[in-house]
Amino acid sequence: MSRTVIVVIDGFGVGAMPDAGALRPGDVTADTCGHVLDHARTFGARPLRLPMLGALGLGLVHPHPDLARRTHLPVAAGRAALGYPGADTFAGHQTMMGADFSHVTVARLAAHLDEVTEALRTAGHRVERLDGRPLLVVDGAVLVHDNLEADPGINWNATGRLEDLAFDRILAIARTVRAVAPVARVIAVGGHADGPLPRYVRDGDGGTVGLDTPATGVYRNGGLEVQHLGAPLDHTRQLPALAARAGIPVTLVGKAADILAGETAVRRPAVPTADVFAHTLEAVRAPGDDALVVANVQETDLAGHQQDPGRYGAVLEQTDAGLAALVSLLDRPGDRLVVTGDHGNDPTIGHAYHTREYVPVLIHRPEATGVELLPDAHSLADVGATAAASLALDPTALANGTRIGRTDEVA
């Protein structure tokens, strides 16, 4: 009997990876966890209170003085490198579930204009560049462009106005682009803009050129349709599929419900942190001996994008309370609570992009007798492999990942 719950605190990093400054040199100082704690101590009414994260071993991973160095819980604690290029929620979750993202690159559309143009024309579309700039106008209505809301080169978009054509036509163009794109995601976007889309084209960071999507008004005008087309993956070799084949019920909560595959999974999309934990606790309380629950706490990531360390800290405290409720329920031998992140999002860094940081790997094991300090994992895929082992599944059935430490055994 085993219930394994993976809680991903979106955008929760514990310090810059060695290559964090490759795109933005200032990111070498990124430390989401430390800087949020510093902000609360310096500018807040009091230091943050994170007793459960401390009990789960966060202070063993991060040296901040406001984090406890000892824990009374049986835990295994370490940190993981991301194991995929850039710092992206979609790639992070897919990798964590056991995907191999070694074939995915960070690339500007400008470097692949010829092959994208050829693919679209072969599919019967009319394609031209906009004023000679490195983005494409397809059928006179859809812009294919760099995504300016993520790190440069992470994602491309295909955006059209629903006044001009139906979303299924925008999606068909995006699928053709996806077939030749080397990046993690191609995002089809259809909405009601305030004016012609070329009016909102601008230069982005890192030599990108794209649509200032928030400025178009599509996020506020209603009727927005979006579909994320991820890089080709063998979802049958990811953790949810592996668990489902073994007859283990799978529940995906929060953003995990939107971006992870699993034909038989119960999906509970939610953004408010209270709702995320309510759905997660409900799944743990459900009858049955075995379960896999993957939940994403998104509001931390939103606070990072907003560069709001005060809000980030408040969400962390709310998350801490939710984790305490989970620990009280996961009390059977074989149960596991895994707390981790998918990338960093330092709300003090001075820009609204993700930061390339190590993430914590905190594992509660109710039947263990001590604390295990884990070696650095090379990839988030190792988190998925470790969770597979805790469910008595074969980690080698995943496309990627190696079990960390002895976390499926009694210490």
pLDDT category at 411 given cuts 50, 70, 90 is very low
The answer, yes or no, to whether residue 407 has pLDDT greater than 70, is no
Range(s) of the domain holding residue 61: 3-103+233-397
Cβ-contact 108, 118 below 8 angstroms: no
Mean pLDDT of 348-367: 95
d(CA 265, CA 248): 10
Choose one of 167, 198, 230: the last residue of a domain.
230
The answer, yes or no, to whether residue 301 has pLDDT greater than 60, is yes
| pLDDT (0 to 100) of residue 264 | 95
Residue 369 lies in a domain: yes
With residue 143 as reference, give the H or E element that holds it. strand 142-146
Number of domains in the chain: 2
| pLDDT (0 to 100) of residue 409 | 53
Do β-strands 136-138 and 127-129 pair in parallel, antiparallel, or remain unpaired? antiparallel
Whether 282 and 364 share a structural domain: yes
Mean pLDDT of 119-135: 97
Residue 408 lies in a domain: no
Whether 129 and 84 share a structural domain: no
Choose one of 202, 230, 258: the last residue of a domain.
230
d(CA 386, CA 405): 8
Whether 375 and 240 share a structural domain: yes
Cβ-contact 293, 326 below 8 angstroms: no
Residue 89 lies in a domain: yes
Residue 409 lies in a domain: no
Residue 29 lies in a domain: yes
| pLDDT (0 to 100) of residue 103 | 80
pLDDT 10s digits, 227-241: 989 888 899 999 999
Mean pLDDT of 368-390: 95
DSSP letter, residue 29 = G
CATH code, domain with 74: 3.40.720.10
d(CA 379, CA 188): 29
Choose one of 230, 260, 275: the last residue of a domain.
230
Residue 385 lies in a domain: yes
With residue 167 as reference, give the H or E element that holds it. helix 167-180
| pLDDT (0 to 100) of residue 406 | 66
pLDDT 10s digits, 262-272: 989 999 999 99
The answer, yes or no, to whether residue 111 has pLDDT greater than 90, is yes
pLDDT category at 410 given cuts 50, 70, 90 is very low
Residue 26 lies in a domain: yes
d(CA 376, CA 373): 9
The answer, yes or no, to whether residue 1 has pLDDT greater than 90, is no
Whether 69 and 198 share a structural domain: no
Whether 277 and 147 share a structural domain: no
d(CA 384, CA 314): 28
Please tell me the least confidently modeled range out of 9-13, 98-102, 267-271, 307-311: 98-102
The answer, yes or no, to whether residue 69 has pLDDT greater than 90, is no
Residue 403 lies in a domain: no
Whether 336 and 216 share a structural domain: no
Whether 46 and 152 share a structural domain: no
Among 80, 79, 71, residue whose Cα is nearest residue 371: 71
| pLDDT (0 to 100) of residue 23 | 80
| pLDDT (0 to 100) of residue 148 | 93
Whether 345 and 279 share a structural domain: yes
Whether 96 and 144 share a structural domain: no
Whether 387 and 257 share a structural domain: yes
Whether 175 and 137 share a structural domain: yes
d(CA 130, CA 95): 35
Q: Enumerate the β-bridge partners of residue 357.
A: 16
The answer, yes or no, to whether residue 102 has pLDDT greater than 90, is no
**215 vs 23, which has greater pLDDT?**
215
Whether 77 and 166 share a structural domain: no
The whole-chain average pLDDT of the chain stands at 94
The answer, yes or no, to whether residue 408 has pLDDT greater than 60, is no
Mean pLDDT of 14-26: 93
| pLDDT (0 to 100) of residue 65 | 94
